[in-house]
């Protein structure tokens, strides 16, 4: 997809971070925009900002972990604009903690937003796009955590982001077999200045549990020596790539039909990916030797 003017973009997690950067770029491209987010006040501010810039925009309170919310989002999109051309499954959350310290409600919340949110998006919007039979594009936000070795204290997040990468790769293969007019990209951000370290502000009460406390606070309580690491981690995100730059990169990659989209291309990210795949190939080689000698 190379032309965006007057096309319709649906963006989840649109009230902050990368979603806001995508929305701002979509507005500059002259697109009609559907903003979706769970955070009402921030969503209203984003809608007002884009309208002041002249954009044709609506906003819809949406919990992407709930299929009925995504179905409502699709219904309002079609009722308002008649079509959808770009779907950005961008909403995401994260939390700190070793897997054995995480509660089942921790798993439910992060998997519900990060993975089921994408599944609900594609299951709901792809049939609409296929029926339109025109040029469309799906953008799924994963993470560098979906390409490198799982992070020790960010396990649930890593699980979901590897899942989003695999889901997106499967979509790409499926679309190529069907000669579809729908393109797909998976975004693997590095360190972007989003509010992901504060994302538990939007955690539903029913997924907190009776003894709930903020995951980073719980992690520090369990492992006091990690406090400085947590502070450095938070500061690192505050100094990361701007969401607007991330939005610009993503749109430029959509134009070129690039599948894997990176917000940063430092050699350290390349080294992390090499380390993971070198380990896989090394174990493959050792397994081959074992099998040959059985």
Continuous H helices in the chain: 17-28, 40-52, 67-81, 104-111, 117-132, 155-177, 215-222, 227-238, 243-255, 267-292
Same domain, 162 and 284: no
260 part of the active site:
no
What are 124-158's pLDDT values in tens digits? 999 999 999 899 999 999 999 999 988 889 999 99
Q: Is residue 48 part of a domain?
A: yes
Closest CA to 11 of 119, 128, 89: 89
Q: What is the mean pLDDT of the chain?
A: 95
CATH of the domain at 188: 3.40.50.720
DSSP assignment string, 114-132: IIIHHHHHHHHHHHHHHHH
What are 75-100's pLDDT values in tens digits? 999 999 999 999 999 999 998 899 99
Instruction: Look at residue 9 and tell me whether its pLDDT is greater than 90.
Output: yes
Same domain, 162 and 110: yes
Q: Is residue 229 part of a domain?
A: yes
For residue 282, the enclosing domain spans 269-294
Same domain, 191 and 106: yes
- pTM (2 decimals)? 0.95
From the candidates 157, 223, 233, 260, give the one annotated as an active-site residue.
Answer: 157
Same domain, 190 and 291: no
Q: 14: Cβ–Cβ under 8 A, 6 or more apart, which residues?
A: 20, 22, 23, 35, 36, 37, 43, 46, 59, 88, 90
> How large a percentage of the chain has pLDDT more than 70?
100
Are residues 216 and 96 in contact, defined by beta-carbon separation less than 8 angstroms? yes
CA-CA distance, 165 to 76, in Å (whole number)?
28
What integer is the mean pLDDT of 195-204? 91
Q: Is residue 3 part of a domain?
A: no
Same domain, 289 and 204: no
Same domain, 76 and 212: yes
Q: List the end-to-end C-alpha distance of the chain, in Å, as a whole number.
A: 52
């Amino acid at each position: 997809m190379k032309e965006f003017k007057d096309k319709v973009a649906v963006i989840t997690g649109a009230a902050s971070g990368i979603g806001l950067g995508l929305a701002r770029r979509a507005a500059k491209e002259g697109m009609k925009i559907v903003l979706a987010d769970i955070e009402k006040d921030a969503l209203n501010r984003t809608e007002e900002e884009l309208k002041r810039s002249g954009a044709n925009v609506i906003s819809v309170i949406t919990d992407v972990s709930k299929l009925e919310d995504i179905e409502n989002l699709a219904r309002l999109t079609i009722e308002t604009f008649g079509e959808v051309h770009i779907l950005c499954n961008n909403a995401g959350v994260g939390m700190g903690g070793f897997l054995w310290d995480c509660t089942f409600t921790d798993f439910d919340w992060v998997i519900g937003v990060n993975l089921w949110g994408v599944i609900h998006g594609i299951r709901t919007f792809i049939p609409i796009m296929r029926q339109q039979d025109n040029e469309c594009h799906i953008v799924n936000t994963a993470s560098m955590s979906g390409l490198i070795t799982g992070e020790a204290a960010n396990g649930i997040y890593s699980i979901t982001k590897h899942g989003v990468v695999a889901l997106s790769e499967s979509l790409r293969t499926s679309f190529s077999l069907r000669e579809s007019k729908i393109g797909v990209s998976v975004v693997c951000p590095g360190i972007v200045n989003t509010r992901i370290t504060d994302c538990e502000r939007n955690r539903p009460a029913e997924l907190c549990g009776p003894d709930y406390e903020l995951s980073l606070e719980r992690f520090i309580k369990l492992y006091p020596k990690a406090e400085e690491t947590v502070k450095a981690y938070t500061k690192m995100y505050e100094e990361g790539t701007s969401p607007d730059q991330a939005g610009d990169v993503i749109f430029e990659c959509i134009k070129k039909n690039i599948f894997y989209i990176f917000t940063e291309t430092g050699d350290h990210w390349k080294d992390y990916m090499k380390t993971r795949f070198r380990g896989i190939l090394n174990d493959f080689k050792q397994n081959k030797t074992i099998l040959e000698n059985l």
